[in-house]
Amino acid sequence: MIISVASGKGGTGKTMVSTSLAASIKNNYNVQLLDADVEEPNSHIFLKPVFETSHAVSINVPVVNEDRCNHCGKCAEVCAFNAIAVVKDFVLTFPELCHGCGACSYLCPRRAINEAPNQIGTVETGKAGSISFVQGKLDIGQTMPTPVVRKVKELTSREHISIIDASPGTSCPVIAAIKDSDFCLLVTEPTPFGLNDLKLAVETVKQMGIPCGLILNRAGVGDSRVEEYCQKENIPILLTIPLDLNIARLYSKGTTLAEGLPQWQENFKEVFRKIREITGERNSST
Amino acid sequence: MKIAISASSPSLDSEVNPRFGRCDMFIIADPKSIDFEVVDNAGESAGGGAGISTAQMIAQKNVEVVITGNCGPNAHRVLSSAGIEIITGAEGTVRQVIEDYNNGKLSSSSGPNVSDHFGMGGGGGHCRGKGKAN
């Protein structure tokens, strides 16, 4: 079973929820945590894994063979990302803008473009006690997280309960992270910003056909509009975490809620039970 | 010869547009006769690499000098490769700038004067989680 954790708004508690959920059910299940927030992976701070492997993630970027090129400009014309330009007798490439689609090389009438791998990040694996740990890391200065997210996802294990910590927002890296999950946990806070971005996230998961439920974090900080929205949209609120100084302190020290306040383990186990119920119901009704 | 000036409206009285890659249009003029044509900038709405696509378009117009407010590193690289002189920091109307150019009051810049994404608004181009097309 794959459970992804997303939010819309950033800083609402995805990592706290992902790591606490993993730590709460690790004694009962084989758990895998995949940190797909590759621009700033931070689940490792909480689960403290020992890394065993590290693999480079590359995308193929164009390399122009000047001997064959006649500067016709076709490559620049077909590049949707302006990653290649032809001016006078020069072909200029901008690997940091290239999405590795291969169109320039494929459509070059003179077969003058080869492709060469350009490293953009790494995927690391390891163990955090009994939890299998995977994280993607985008290299500094790189601007395309999605291929790294995809590589992280390739390591999703069907023998585990896989928990995927996604990045904030609803753009491509998030879509790549939550795609194919059985359930998406949306974490938000009861503020106008939290609600606005939650709506975007809900529309996204609905479009993708992924059932979702909400964890309301920092309850007490804002108003009741998130709850009203969830009621209207039939989104179950699976857990409410209050705005609490002790919880904030634990987080700032890199301790999961499950370890720092063990009474929360039962709450996260309950969340997991509800997720199983919802996904089970869904499978039997379809 | 032809010089291209980034502009906001299609007349010599337009203010110079401070952005190169994402300006609305260019006024391409002969600085002596002040004959000019207006070229819309398709790069204005590019998802990414606006400076590159705009610079390429300008290069195809056989322009020798570009006058604008700010020019980032990628656009600078393309324009330089095309042998185009780049003058940044221009202000005022297009007409005034052409006059200043004719009077030798403008000097070319040897490198980009702003970092990439400068002209995307909001002080930065990195829109994390805001629908950036990856």
pLDDT in tens, A263-272: 999 999 999 9
Q: Give chain A's mean pLDDT.
A: 95
Average pLDDT over residues A44-68: 97
Q: What is the pLDDT of residue B131?
A: 37
For residue A164, the cross-strand partners are A4, A34
DSSP characters over A221-252: SS-SHHHHHHHHHT--EEEEEE--HHHHHHHH
Q: With respect to CATH, is domain A66-111 assigned 3.40.50.620?
A: no
Q: Do B50 and A82 touch (CB under 8 A)?
A: yes
Q: What are phi and psi of A169, to 5 degrees?
A: 90, -170
Query: Residue A43 pLDDT > 50, yes or no?
Result: yes
Q: What is the DSSP letter of A141?
A: T
Pick the CATH number of A2-48+121-284 from 3.50.50.60, 3.40.50.620, 3.30.1330.40, 3.40.50.300: 3.40.50.300
What is the tens place of the pLDDT at every residue in A196-223? 999 999 999 999 999 999 999 999 999 9
Q: What is the pLDDT of residue B121?
A: 62
Q: Do A171 and B134 touch (CB under 8 A)?
A: yes
Interface test with A, best of B53, B58, B81 (most A CBs within 10 A): B81
Q: Give me the total of CB pairs closer than 8 Å, taking one residue from chain A and one from chain B.
A: 73
Q: Hey, where are the domains in chain B?
A: 3-102
Average pLDDT over residues A218-243: 96
Query: Residue B44 pLDDT > 70, yes or no?
Result: yes
Average pLDDT over residues B30-49: 89
Find the DSSP H helices in chain A.
14-25, 43-47, 74-78, 103-107, 146-154, 172-178, 192-207, 225-233, 245-252, 257-260, 263-285
Contacts of residue A10 in chain B, CB cutoff 8 Å?
A: 128-129
Is residue B17 within 8 A of residue B6, CB to CB? The reply is yes
ipTM: 0.79
Query: Residue A12 pLDDT > 50, yes or no?
Result: yes
SS3 B84: coil
Dihedral (C-alpha) A146, B57, B81, A72: value to the nearest 10 degrees? Answer: 80
Q: Cα–Cα distance between A182 and A98 in angstroms, integer?
A: 32
Instruction: Place A4 in a pLDDT band, splitting at 50, 70 and 90.
Output: very high
Q: Hey, where are the domains in chain A?
A: 2-48+121-284, 66-111
CA atoms within 13 A on the CB side of A139: 14
Question: What's chain B's Rg over C-alpha atoms?
Answer: 14
Interface test with B, best of A7, A64, A71, A87 (most B CBs within 10 A): A87
How is residue A127 written in tokens?
Answer: 């163990």
Q: Do A144 and B134 touch (CB under 8 A)?
A: yes
Instruction: Place A285 in a pLDDT band, splitting at 50, 70 and 90.
Output: very low
Query: Residue B115 pLDDT > 90, yes or no?
Result: no
- CATH architecture of the domain with residue range B3-102: 2-Layer Sandwich (3.30)
Q: What is the pLDDT of residue A281?
A: 61
Q: Give chain B's mean pLDDT.
A: 87
Query: Residue A182 pLDDT > 70, yes or no?
Result: yes
Q: Cα–Cα distance between B93 and B120 in angstroms, integer?
A: 22
Q: Cα–Cα distance between A118 and A144 in angstroms, integer?
A: 12
Contacts of residue A94 in chain B, CB cutoff 8 Å?
A: 49, 52, 74
Average pLDDT over residues A106-133: 97
Q: What is the pLDDT of residue A25?
A: 97
Is residue A21 within 8 A of residue A200, CB to CB? The reply is no
What is the tens place of the pLDDT at every residue in A157-175? 999 999 999 999 999 999 9
Q: Cα–Cα distance between A258 and B4 in angstroms, integer?
A: 63
Query: Residue A140 pLDDT > 80, yes or no?
Result: yes
Q: Do B47 and A81 touch (CB under 8 A)?
A: yes
Contacts of residue B129 in chain A, CB cutoff 8 Å?
A: 10, 167-171, 174
